[in-house]
Homo-oligomer: A and B are copies of this chain.
């Protein structure tokens, strides 16, 4: 682990409040591993052996079924992932692969479960993390069920813009094919959705998106104050 990274991991919401001593136990039982791009970290159905914490790089969580697959989440550093499978000790419901070269902290799942039982602060943080993740999924599911593709894209851009500082500019980080899969559509349709939004306050140039008329974009995308604005 590089200097400065351990404190950064310790500052994660998940590990922040726990006892120093227990945190040391977690860290000393874990190990950092480097993975090349496009490598599968684990697959749907496998038994969860490690809690993963992405330190550096980008990881995609995706699900497959009957030959088709879809992106469920794009993980950026520094974040833990697949907490729910580790806590319940049940098979993964998603697969994971690196998109870029990545460094991942691997915390043995059994160790997580053991320390969680002994350190109430860690348990509370875990509980909170799971509750927030649950809420994210509620949002994603209603988004999928109630909105059509161009609206979903519009709302995602509005949300991203707020997260990136609110200057009316959004920098797309992932490939568009990935973004399409995350939004539950084909790359072709994403292109067309961008085209549609072009008539509703949006300008796009490659991976650089500019919101030229927020009011128009909001009228079209119908963001929900509860679902889309709050964290």
Contacts and interface: CB of A to CB of B under 8 A. Distances in A.
Interface string A44-63: 11000000000000000001
A88 B227 contact: no
Give chain A's interface residue range (CB within 8 Å of chain B).
Answer: 35 or more
Contacts of A225: 45
Interface in A17-63: 44-45, 63
Contact of A144 (B85, B141, B227): B141
Contacts of A83: 131
Number of copies: 2
A105 interface: no
A146 interface: yes
Contacts of A145: 63, 70, 144, 184
Contact of A128 (B63, B72, B88, B227): B88
Interface stretch (A8-16, A119-127, A168-176, A201-209): A119-127
Interface in A160-212: 184
B226 A131 contact: no
Contacts of A72: 138, 141-142
B63 A132 contact: no
Given A68-B146, A70-B142, A137-B137, 5 more contacts: A63-B138, A65-B146, A120-B120, A130-B130, A140-B141
Interface of A: 44-45, 63-66, 68-70, 72, 83-85, 87-88, 90-94, 116-117, 120, 123-124, 126-128, 130-135, 137-142, 144-147, 184, 222, 224-227, 230
16 contacts: A65-B142, A68-B146, A87-B127, A91-B226, A92-B226, A93-B226, A116-B124, A117-B124, A120-B123, A123-B123, A123-B127, A134-B137, A137-B141, A141-B141, A141-B144, A144-B184
